[in-house]
Structure 1
Amino acid sequence: MKIIDKYILKKFLTTYVFVVLVILAVICAIDYSEKSDDFIKHSLGFKEIVVDYYFNFVMHLIGLITPLMVFIATVFVTSRMAGRTEIIAMLSGGMSYLRLFLPYMIGATVIAIFSFYLSGWVVPRANKKRIAFESAYIKKPFSFDERNVHSKIDSNTYVYLQSYNNNTFNGRKFTIERIENRKLVEKFSAENITWDTLKQTWHVDDYKIHTFFAEREIIRTGKDMDTLMGLLPKDFESKYRYNETLTLPEIDEYIAEQKARGTALELGIYWVEKYQRYASPFAIIILTIMGIVVSSKKTRQGTSFNIALGFVLAFVFILFVVVARSLGQSGTLDPRVGAWIPNIIFGVVAIYLYWRAPK
């Protein structure tokens, strides 16, 4: 690596860190002003606010804003160099326009790898703590209020609950049916079911077990019993931003589990979350290329024009990501398309701008 490469790389990385720190400070200040009343109401101390919440909130923000901050850093550094005619001097000295991209690509690749590891493993763990904090102190307490709940716990087993209380772990009018070859072969019903936190089993009261044969039915009854049935209290817990709390392996496990239960049609948000985490590092590379191309030419308007243009393009990119993500989650678009289409569109734009750029 030549001295000029080290010079550009150092400026690029330090500017990225500076921009991220500034944005984090602004967002955290705004967030604190909005939540300070909740902190006071619950008498939260330094540890709860800073360590339990804001440390994890910052990790979440870093994963969220990194592609755009890389783009802004690229535009800022390249515009400054173009404004001081440093780029013209490099090109006049025999450096090719494509060679100019090398230090940026090294820096962007390092950030992309770091970002992928963060979004795949570190940020989800931080989000577990952040969302748990928000659920405990910011949001209203969750109450499972659905009635007449129908669920599928595997390809042949169906569950029904008239109601469930997630605070007492108690359900009313419980039924579980097993189907084979489109015929009902067994039906288990109970007036009440309660999760035993010590035994980690369900305790059922006043139960009946119907077993169906070709020409007869056997009915067994009982007062109470402990059993496992492929259903857990976590199935009735809040799913508030649950997709953000899963690591990449956990997302795969959750999707496989839900597909086995026959709920694959409701998994759009998890598919998009998975594919977007893979797409984000490539977005960093694409936005870096675009940032170089749009800001490497010296303009009469100066550096401020290129920076303003960078913010406009960043806003357009955010708009594409939000719309595509929403369409992917709703099933209007294939989740892979929803996650990757902003990269594809901006990748094509970056190639076109590079082709048109004066070299």
Structure 2
Amino acid sequence: MKIIDKYILKRYLGTFSVMLLMFIPIGIVIDVSEKVNKMIENKIPLKDILIYYGDFTIYFANLLFPIFLFLSVIWFTSKLANNTEIIAILSSGISFNRFLKPYIIGATVVSVFALIMGFFLVPSASKGFNDFRYSNLKGNSQTRETNDIYRQIKNENNVSEYIYVSNYNYLSKTGFNFTFEKSIGNKLQYKVSASRIKYDEKTKSYTLYNYKKRTIGKLNDILESYEKKIQKYNFEPDDLTPVIYAAETMSITEINDFIDKERDRGNSNINTYLVVLYKKYSLPVSAFILTIIAVAVSAMKRRGGMGVNLAIGIIIAFTFIFFDKVFGTIAEKSSFSPLLAVWIPNIVFGILAVYLLRNAKR
């Protein structure tokens, strides 16, 4: 590796690291200012708070990773351009493509790091981050994260099973207004209802309160009723977990296994999990695209200086985030292909990167 490669690569990784170290503390300060009253009111131990902000750091860095990377590349490349260092490099006979080499190496390092984080570190951090928020920083009414959870848990050999809860509390593993239905073909076999259902991790069973079961007979229905009944069902507490929360907290192995299990059950409502899975792969690729765009935009010395480059960079970065969020939401809420939705921002900005790079070479 030549001296110029080491010089640019050092600036690439160094500026990106400094950008993270600058903005993450700002995010922590803002978060503390918003939640300090709740922390004092709930008498949360300092150890738990420190663990929470460790998880917050990973969660926050992963969330804004594209913006941090893009702005850091624009920042130091603009400084190189303003100091006429880029002109000197290109005047020495080095082509623009050769000039990009250390940037691509830097993007590779950042991409591998982002891939490892997305596969292993971010799910664990997301779980700790969300658990802390819902157990310590939100009111009791808010710990029931979603309403009206309706899932198909089995669809094979003409047998279908469905579950429903009106509310589910992830932390206490408790659901409310529970219903379980089993059908063969189009005919309902029986229906179980309970005002409350609670999962016991030790026995891997569920306790149903105000249990009622109605079995459909040829002439008469059979009714059962108990104040409390312990049952084992073929579904996990994660099946009752709010979809986005659960998807964010799964490692790459867990989310792949979950998707396979849901497909075997015939459940087509797995787009949210697919979006999270595909983003684990698309986010590292965006590092290369955003790096090329940032270099193409900032390698030229402009009359307005670094400020103009940063303004252009901020607009492009937030447009990328906007595309990413909009198409991800569309895929989660409709039949739009999750794979296409996740990769559309990279495709669109990849085309933009090629166009800007061709102009920069001229």
Q: State the match for 1:13 in structure 2.
A: 13
Aligned counterpart for 2:345 among listed residues 342, 345, 355: 342
Q: 1:322, CA displacement in angstroms?
A: 2.0
Q: Please report how far the alpha carbon of residue 40 of structure 1 lies from its aligned counterpart in structure 2 after TM superposition.
A: 0.9
CA distance in 2, matches of 1:161, 1:314: 41
Match of 1:256 in 2: 260
Whole-Å Cα distance in 2 between the matches of residues 308 and 320 of structure 1? 18
CA drift at 1:276: 1.5
Equivalent in the alignment of 1:157: 160
Letter of the aligned partner of 1:118 in structure 2? M
Contact conserved, 2:298 with 2:309, CA < 8 A, in 1? yes
Contact 1:161 1:171 in 2 (8 A): no
**SS at structure 1 position matched to 2:152:** strand
User: Is contact 1:39–1:137 with CA below 8 Å preserved after alignment?
Assistant: yes
Distance 1:241 1:173 in 2: 20
Could you tell me the TM-score, scaled by structure 2's length? 0.85
Map 1:1-359 → 2, pairs under 5 A: 1-50=1-50, 52-141=51-140, 142-143=143-144, 151-155=151-155, 156-159=159-162, 169=174, 175-180=180-185, 182-183=186-187, 186-187=189-190, 189=192, 195=198, 197=200, 198-202=202-206, 210=215, 226-239=230-243, 241-264=245-268, 266-331=269-334, 333-359=336-362
Which deviates further from its counterpart, 122-131 or 156-165? Answer: 156-165
Larger gyration radius, structure 1 or structure 2: 1
Post-superposition shift, 1:57? 0.5
Deviates more, 1:58-67 or 1:90-99: 58-67
Q: Is the 8 A contact 1:188 1:210 kept in 2?
A: yes
Equivalent-residue separation in structure 1 for 2:81 and 2:173 (angstroms): 66
Distance 1:325 1:150 in 2: 22
CA-to-aligned-CA distance 1:3-56 (integer Å, 9 cap, x gap): 110011001110000011111111111111111111111112321111x21000
2: CA distance, partners of 1:353 / 1:143: 48
1:331/1:300 CA distance change after superposition, 3 Å: same
What are the superposed Cα offsets for residues 68-89 of structure 1, whole Å, 9 maximum, x if unpaired?
Answer: 2121111111111111111111
Alpha-carbon distance, 1:165 to partner: 8.0
1:308 and 1:175 map into 2 onto residues whose CA distance is: 55
Of 167-176 and 296-305, more deviation after overlay is shown by 167-176
CA-to-partner distance for each residue in 1:176-215, whole Å, 9 max, x for gaps?
42415x455x436577886573533245787768587xx8
CA contact (8 A) 1:174 1:193 kept: no
Question: TM-score scaled by structure 1?
Answer: 0.85
Paired-residue identity, %:
30
Matched to 1:132, the amino acid is D
Q: List per-residue Cα deviations over 1:86-134 (Å, max 9, x = no partner).
A: 1111111110111000001101101001101101221011111111000
Question: Aligned partners of 2:349 and 2:178: how far apart in 1?
Answer: 54
Measured in 2, the distance between the counterparts of 1:162 and 1:312 equals: 43
How many matched pairs? Answer: 352
Write the letter of the residue equivalent to 2:248.
E
SS of 2:97's partner is coil
Q: Which range moves more in the overlay, 77-86 or 329-338? A: 329-338
Per the TM alignment, residue 267 of structure 1 is displaced from its structure 2 partner at its CA by 2.3
Counterpart amino acid of 1:257?
K
Deviation, 1:143, is: 3.9
Distance 2:341 2:24 in 1: 27
Structure 2: gaps spanning 5 or more residues: none
Superimposed CA distance per residue, residues 127-154 of structure 1 (whole angstroms, 9 cap, x where no aligned partner): 111110001012233348967x764321
Alpha-carbon shift at residue 172 of structure 1 (Å): 6.7
CA contact (8 A) 1:71 1:291 kept: yes
State the shift of 1:164 in Å.
7.6
Task: From the superposition, tell whether residues 245 and 46 of structure 1 become closer, same or farther in structure 2 (CA, over 3 Å).
Answer: same
CA deviation after TM superposition for structure 1 residue 231, in Å: 3.4
CA–CA separation in structure 2 for the residues paired with 1:332 and 1:189:
31
